[in-house]
Amino acid sequence: MRELPAALEWSADNCTVGRALAIVGEKWTFVVLREIFMGVRRFDDLRVRTNIPRQVLTDRLSRLVEHGILRREPYRDPGSRVRYEYRPTDKGFDLFPVLQALREWGDRYLADPAGGPLTTVHRDCGAPVNLVLRCADGHEIDKMREVVGRPGPGALRR
Amino acid sequence: MRELPAALEWSADNCTVGRALAIVGEKWTFVVLREIFMGVRRFDDLRVRTNIPRQVLTDRLSRLVEHGILRREPYRDPGSRVRYEYRPTDKGFDLFPVLQALREWGDRYLADPAGGPLTTVHRDCGAPVNLVLRCADGHEIDKMREVVGRPGPGALRR
């Protein structure tokens, strides 16, 4: 008998990665968030930048509002009816590290020879921003092989 | 005339977030990677843990192999034919921060009252591991509002 992976002893039913993906794991959702974080917040601008079909974009924005990730803010251009732009809530801003991690990976493996099209910088000092994995004892972790999973406080047996 | 968001001056055609999502942004892909990182590496075990339909799982695994994120490793149970398990490549391990970021967000907003089902710890010291955003000048960044996007080396005008 082989030794079973320890993960098989535990339930994945309350996995928070699975729950996060149920909300933001749909195609286009991160593309929408990418644009929102870049300051593109109006429906027509989002259409131009992303080429997402109108109905799909409407649906994804509604879903993000429904889950408290974006909020609608009214605005009115002269001579037009009131429209809405979409701004991230605190819960939405807290998704930024996911985008940053996707971009760092994309820049490493998928960029044009010139490099990635975007850099994120610290507003105060202008230096480039990166994600760092660090443990509570202060060790920085270079290789993912140095990280192991353990049952958390909400772990359930299968 | 309103001031247009600066992002609209730039092309999103070579966006590395978009490219990353074109590979890993499909439903289930991160669920597969989650299990792989947890040490669940055989097709039948992945089926048990994820309930992904057989054909979809086959397809997602092939896609991850094709893009060099997973590699197939042969194994053979006594009395059975050779089968394959799936292991992350270095390129695959480098996606770990995306999963970690999703989990940290999920644990904050979507966990059961008891907490998340999984903790990641440093193999050497056992302390919990978290992502930190930090700029090259050494400032740690608490609020995403402190981060701004700038055209990167590969930025293209629209």
Note the pLDDT tens digit of each residue in B41-81. Answer: 999 999 988 889 999 999 999 999 999 999 999 999 899 99
CA–CA gap between residue A77 and residue A45 (Å, rounded): 14
What's the confidence (pLDDT) of residue B1?
A: 55
CATH number assigned to the domain covering A6-146: 1.10.10.10
CB contact under 8 A, A39 and B7: yes
- Asked whether the predicted pLDDT for residue A9 surpasses 90, the reply is no
Alpha-carbon gap: A49 to the closest alpha carbon of chain B (Å): 7
How many beta-carbon contacts under 8 Å exist across A and B? 336
Residues within 8 A of A (CB atoms), B 53-112 only:
77, 88, 91, 93-112
CB contact under 8 A, B96 and A147: yes
Alpha-carbon gap: B54 to the closest alpha carbon of chain A (Å): 18
CB contact under 8 A, B136 and A130: yes
Both tokens of B6, joined, read 């600066």
Query: How far is CA B39 from its chain centroid?
Result: 15
Helix axes A29-37, A43-50, angle to 10 degrees: 120
Average pLDDT, chain B: 92
| Residue type at position A44 | D
**Chain A contact set for B11 (CB, 8 A):** 117
Residues A12-43: pLDDT tens digits?
888 999 999 989 988 789 999 999 998 999 99
Domain boundaries, chain B: 6-146
CA–CA gap between residue B140 and residue B128 (Å, rounded): 18
Burial status of residue A54 (CB atoms within 10 A of its CB: 0-12, 13-18, 19 or more): exposed
- Asked whether the predicted pLDDT for residue A57 surpasses 70, the reply is yes
Establish if A139 touches chain B: CB-CB under 8 angstroms: yes
The C-alpha angle with vertex A47 and arms to A43 and A53, in degrees rounded to 5, equals: 110
> What percent of chain B has pLDDT above 90?
75
The predicted model gives B97-103 an average pLDDT of: 96
